[in-house]
Structure 1
Amino acid sequence: MDVDTVQFVDSVASSPTVRLDLNNEAPWGCTGVDFSPPQLKTAFSSTLLVDGERLTAAAYANRTLTLSLELIAGQDASATAMQALWRELDRPTNVIRYQPDGMPSPVFFRTIRSSDTRVREYPGGGSTALRTLEVQVRAESCAVGLRVDLPQVVVSNDPTASTWLNSNPFMEVDASGWTGTGGTIARSTAQSHEGAASLLLTPGGVASQVDVRSDLAPVTAGQQYRVAAWLRSTVARSISTNINWYDASSVYLSTSTTTASYSAGVWTPAELTATAPVGATQARAFPAVLGTTPPAGHTVYVDEARLYRVATAMESGGMCFDVTAVQGDVETPLFVRVAGEDVTTTPGKWTFGLGRRQTMISVRRRGTPAQAPGVFAAESLNRDADTSVVTGVVGAHGGSVLRTSFATLGLVIRYGPSSWPTAASVDLRGTYRMLVRCRKSVAGDVIRMRAVWSQDSTVVYGDLVTLPSDNVWRWIDLGLVQIPMGYDPATDGLSAAPLPATGPVFDTAIERVSGSGTLDSDSIAFVPADDRMLGVVWPTSGLPTAFVVDSAASGVYGVGASGEVRSARVETTGLPPMVSPGVTNRVWFLADVGSEFATGDDAAGYARITPYYWPRYLHVRPVAS
């Protein structure tokens, strides 16, 4: 006969080690359980000036599990069984697995040391003892389900990036997904821009064109696509980067191309953005194309070769990722595993004074993410004093920036939209941290900037921020802004119907206090700051295979290739991300918002992230969740 599973086990796992089975009829039987949901603890504020009270805070309390047990065994066996129970209850922490008969999956209660047990003896049984026990076990507020591992997502530092369309961009294991023409290709560990390997293209010395190309990837006519890679040429020469377009029958249509000069022995970024022509449904990325019959000695290493659609609005893969269909009843900590080399530097590539990266992780758990403020390209804004659009700028998102020359002295408006956002929406409401991605042309120039927000007759001036003394790309934090400004009723009176909000106009005032250079402004980001936001300062260098943001413990640790915990100096501030069922959870990941890492923010950079979580339940787990 099938029975409910009630067991002390060693871990939350699909096949844990059973420490004590409390319903196996040998000798324990479980006659009843009380796993009632935990109490919701609340805090209210009130005044005698109005009726009622206002809820200011709420959180679930720890719970008490009640087990009604029956123990039938010989006297010695009964005493041994009870001793086993006492030992399980006395553990500082423990786990109870509970799975009612007919339920497809168990839940697990993480318990703490408990001693509240009532034992009733039934004399007269001779050598067989009959005892009933009422055991109360203290436990954390929610039961948890089995760990849910989400697919790895690659989060680009470029907000226009989307999910990569080609396979095997890193060539760490082999050269699958790539084909060479006019020469040979092979995975090589002689050079690498990231990881331990790259792809080596060796000309045959005969063909007029030598290239490496990806497998076909799906595209949509009229949309923009970008191929991005890192190239290292053995000799100084020109190299082209192409996208070839094909129709649904894989018939070649046309080629988009760009050509650049490459120095010998230096890793250099290659990038091409092009629009898929009419009739195109497929494309190949050509990160490296060598013309004019290159000799065999003109070898080229290729690494981090990616083809992706250029997003017109922020979406998963561009400075953020989405977590949907979260299982469970209530919010749960999101664990974020980040590839170690994506946020720190391996010892073999570390140089003195490189500094430490600082990452900003934020989450928004309401509304439609695409309707919320995101990242704005500076060149799309209105230009004011001494500011103009400049194209073809290396390191900029999309290659275009606003350049300010400072012919007009003083702290004056340099750029901003005529109206932002253009339409009122409930998704605009919130508090945001405003960051501007910019770069000085002269490191020693002293340049200051501030945000200026205005709507109707209200003007709010942000704090003055002095830019770091370097000339690399940096995200500059200009502080918090609230939308809408001033008092926000949020809903229409007592109807509970949300009111749409409109954003104020934002402008950026900039002055050059001293110096003679210019300032390039690339992008303006509005990062949600009214839910949970975490700052992480990573180690300078190290050997962890990955770092894990442990949102349950509000800490970050490093792990090695075998999963072992490694020593790592990681500092955090703020609140780590949580995810909730029933909504789209958008998690922002800005890899480097600090002022310390020597090379600044890399627009071509990315972070390989594997999110996972344990769903939390108030009682038992339904089939669908």
Structure 2
Amino acid sequence: MPSTWKFVDQPALVHSTLLDMNDGATWRTLGEDFDISPPPVTRSLVRNALMDGGILTSASYDLRELKFTLRLEGETEAARVAQLKAFEKEVGKPANLLMYKSQLHDVPVFFRTLRSDSFELDTQFVPGKVWQIKAAVAAEPYAIGVRRDLAPVTVANDPAAATNPTRFDIPGAQILGDGPTPAFVRIAGLGAGAVILLAQRTINNPTALTNVAQAESGSLDGNSSLWDGGGLYSGTGVNRAVARTFSSNNLMGRVVTVSAPTATSSEALRGRYRVIARCGVKAAQATSTFQIRWQQPGTDANPGPAATVTIAAGAFQLVDLGVLEYPPATTAPSSIGYSALPPGFAASNLDIYAARVSGTADLNIDYVYLLPADERLCSVYQAAAPGYLVLDGPNDATYGMAAGSTPFGLTRTIDNGGGLVPRIGGLPMLVPGVLNRWYMLTGTGTITASATVEISYWPRWLDVATA
């Protein structure tokens, strides 16, 4: 039997009660008919006469039903009619929050309900004294818990930085719940025209993976040379970039070969990556247009698509070179036999090819970055510069907020600075029980820039919260 069963205005410990259905006075929720069983699972199965059994291709939780019986014990019939109308109002809403706390747990959960104003009403349960309602309220598969706020993280825009080099880790112990939950992310320190690339990885041993290669560490083509770009480029030492000269335009040739990806444990190599190259043009040279692509070397060379990019004199761009599948062979199993042991893979190289389409400038390549694209990856463009950028996972939305605003405080002013905040891709999720590694690149930021990332989330629970 629940100790708390009521509709509330928000999923927080401090809230307003809309309707308490177990106040112990005139409302009573019966324990024997109370059912909040986990939601049903919808499975997609492939079956035919060529195999025994079937193959599960996908599975997900369906909507659930919260079944319960209420006793309406108002002293008069008019009081019971008022109770009935109050109940109909809450279950008739398109969306609502139903708070539940069992007698055995101190932490509540909140079911996000859907319109369910269909129920059994017995006005003669105890004639002239008690009415009874048998209800089945539709709800989302997971209940949510009270919001949790993680400590802010400062992320460097340099993949060679000593601390949080374009990535940071969220330990699994910090993420509560029974399933992945959308993150609410606030990013400060971005300017107008900022492009944010944000990805996550929780599979294939992400801490063993090295997903970035400095161009100057690679094998150079004869028309390429090391170049001293100073502090404008990532890396250490004197030469921090590769400069490619062109004898003519529209001639695609190899610039550099880098080792990427690499890993300290070979199963971490497996995955899907979006290949990003940070490219620039010297300030003393002219704005020029280039075509750039990647290719895996070997007899069965696997080329990527050619990306066309125009880079202004003295500027840098993160150039998206498309998706790389590693290993290229799609027949690689997920485990060896029935052992449940993941296969390992041999490291490979990656060639970067380029052609100059127009202009007279050299192409400078700073680094090649393999942004994981197995789970969630998004690109967000901030046209203007508000107080900070918000990636609102629960609402699947991106927007700006004015300086001085607090998303969950009294001042919650949405302000895009007169610009737009479009995005492509999926906003990040937080996965309980495993290490969450997030990768973040800022396209228009300098290599010495950094951004502060704040993350909040609401744990997802199937029935009761354990913490």
The TM-score with structure 2 as length reference comes to 0.89
1:475-522 CA deviation, whole Å, 9 max, x = no partner? Answer: 111111111111221211233321112332211122345554322211
Q: 2:210 aligns with which of 373, 385, 405?
A: 373
The alpha carbon displacement at 1:602 in A equals 1.2
Q: 1:52 to 1:100 in 2, by over 3 A?
A: same
Q: Which runs of 5+ in 2 are unaligned?
A: 406-410
Partners of 1:401 and 1:521 within 8 A in 2? no
The alpha carbon displacement at 1:3 in A equals 6.4
Q: 1:473 aligns with which of 316, 327, 335?
A: 316
Q: 1:3 to 1:34 in 2, by over 3 A?
A: closer
Aligned counterpart, 1:290: none
1:7-32 CA deviation, whole Å, 9 max, x = no partner? Answer: 11111111111111111121011112
Q: 1:88 to 1:422 in 2, by over 3 A?
A: closer
Q: 1:403 to 1:372 in 2, by over 3 A?
A: closer
Aligned counterpart, 2:183: 334
Letter of the structure 1 residue corresponding to residue 373 of structure 2: A
The alpha carbon displacement at 1:147 in A equals 0.5
Inter-partner Cα distance in structure 2 for 1:105 and 1:578 = 23
Inter-partner Cα distance in structure 1 for 2:356 and 2:430 = 43
Partners of 1:423 and 1:502 within 8 A in 2? no
Inter-partner Cα distance in structure 1 for 2:234 and 2:262 = 21
Aligned counterpart, 1:77: 79
1:232-255 CA deviation, whole Å, 9 max, x = no partner? Answer: xxxxxxxxxxxxxxxxxxxxxxxx
Inter-partner Cα distance in structure 1 for 2:346 and 2:455 = 33
Aligned counterpart, 1:552: 394
Aligned counterpart, 2:338: 494
Does residue 452 of structure 1 match 2:303?
A: no
Q: Name the SS of the counterpart of 2:196 in structure 1.
A: strand
Does residue 412 of structure 1 match 2:253?
A: yes
Partners of 2:2 and 2:101 within 8 A in 1? no
The alpha carbon displacement at 1:388 in A equals 2.8
Partners of 2:180 and 2:429 within 8 A in 1? yes
Q: Name the SS of the counterpart of 2:310 in structure 1.
A: coil
1:150-177 CA deviation, whole Å, 9 max, x = no partner? Answer: 111112211123xxxxxxxxxxxxxxxx
The alpha carbon displacement at 1:343 in A equals 2.9
The alpha carbon displacement at 1:370 in A equals 2.3
Does residue 575 of structure 1 match 2:414?
A: no
Aligned counterpart, 1:55: 56
Aligned counterpart, 1:121: 123
Q: 1:357 aligns with which of 191, 194, 205?
A: 194
Inter-partner Cα distance in structure 2 for 1:462 and 1:99 = 54
Letter of the structure 2 residue corresponding to residue 482 of structure 1: E
1:278-309 CA deviation, whole Å, 9 max, x = no partner? Answer: xxxxxxxxxxxxxxxxxxxxxxxxxxxxxxxx
Inter-partner Cα distance in structure 1 for 2:43 and 2:56 = 7
Aligned counterpart, 2:25: 26
Aligned counterpart, 2:455: 611
**Which deviates more, 117-126 or 14-23?**
117-126
Q: 1:115 to 1:522 in 2, by over 3 A?
A: same
Q: Which runs of 5+ in 1 are unaligned?
A: 162-309, 312-316, 346-355, 593-599
1:309-360 CA deviation, whole Å, 9 max, x = no partner? Answer: x25xxxxx22122222210000110111122xx3333xxxxxxxxxx33222
Q: 1:9 to 1:507 in 2, by over 3 A?
A: same
Aligned counterpart, 1:530: 374
Inter-partner Cα distance in structure 1 for 2:151 and 2:260 = 39
Aligned counterpart, 2:272: 431
Partners of 1:421 and 1:502 within 8 A in 2? no
Q: 1:502 to 1:490 in 2, by over 3 A?
A: farther
Q: Name the SS of the counterpart of 1:415 in structure 2.
A: strand
Inter-partner Cα distance in structure 2 for 1:452 and 1:125 = 81
**Which deviates more, 94-103 or 487-496?**
487-496
Aligned counterpart, 1:314: none
Partners of 2:123 and 2:132 within 8 A in 1? yes
Q: Name the SS of the counterpart of 2:30 in structure 1.
A: strand
The alpha carbon displacement at 1:577 in A equals 1.0
- Structure scoring higher RCO (CA < 8 A, sep ≥ 6) equals 2
Letter of the structure 2 residue corresponding to residue 470 of structure 1: A
1:538-561 CA deviation, whole Å, 9 max, x = no partner? Answer: 12x25x322211122221122232
Aligned counterpart, 2:415: 566
Does residue 323 of structure 1 match 2:166?
A: no
Does residue 403 of structure 1 match 2:242?
A: yes
Aligned counterpart, 1:100: 102
Q: Name the SS of the counterpart of 1:480 in structure 2.
A: strand
Inter-partner Cα distance in structure 1 for 2:2 and 2:205 = 44
The alpha carbon displacement at 1:462 in A equals 1.6
The alpha carbon displacement at 1:131 in A equals 2.1
- Structure label with greater radius of gyration: 1
Does residue 37 of structure 1 match 2:54?
A: no
Letter of the structure 1 residue corresponding to residue 461 of structure 2: Y
Aligned counterpart, 2:408: none
Q: 2:221 aligns with which of 363, 384, 392?
A: 384
Letter of the structure 2 residue corresponding to residue 620 of structure 1: V
Pairing 1:195-206 to 2, within 5 Å after superposition: none
The alpha carbon displacement at 1:135 in A equals 1.2
Pairing 1:293-304 to 2, within 5 Å after superposition: none
Letter of the structure 2 residue corresponding to residue 39 of structure 1: P
Partners of 1:474 and 1:601 within 8 A in 2? no
Q: 1:532 to 1:47 in 2, by over 3 A?
A: farther
Inter-partner Cα distance in structure 2 for 1:117 and 1:445 = 69
Aligned counterpart, 1:344: 191
Letter of the structure 2 residue corresponding to residue 566 of structure 1: D
Partners of 1:483 and 1:504 within 8 A in 2? no
The alpha carbon displacement at 1:448 in A equals 2.6
Partners of 2:277 and 2:320 within 8 A in 1? yes
The alpha carbon displacement at 1:56 in A equals 2.4
The TM-score with structure 1 as length reference comes to 0.67
Q: Name the SS of the counterpart of 1:478 in structure 2.
A: strand
1:72-106 CA deviation, whole Å, 9 max, x = no partner? Answer: 23222222222211111112211111111131200
The alpha carbon displacement at 1:109 in A equals 0.5
Q: Name the SS of the counterpart of 1:398 in structure 2.
A: coil
Inter-partner Cα distance in structure 2 for 1:525 and 1:419 = 8
Q: Name the SS of the counterpart of 2:83 in structure 1.
A: helix
1:30-83 CA deviation, whole Å, 9 max, x = no partner? Answer: 112211111121222344433333222222111110112222232222222222
Aligned counterpart, 2:65: 64
Letter of the structure 1 residue corresponding to residue 367 of structure 2: S
Q: Work out the percentage of aligned pairs sharing the same amino acid.
A: 30
Letter of the structure 1 residue corresponding to residue 413 of structure 2: E
Letter of the structure 2 residue corresponding to residue 99 of structure 1: K
Partners of 2:97 and 2:112 within 8 A in 1? yes
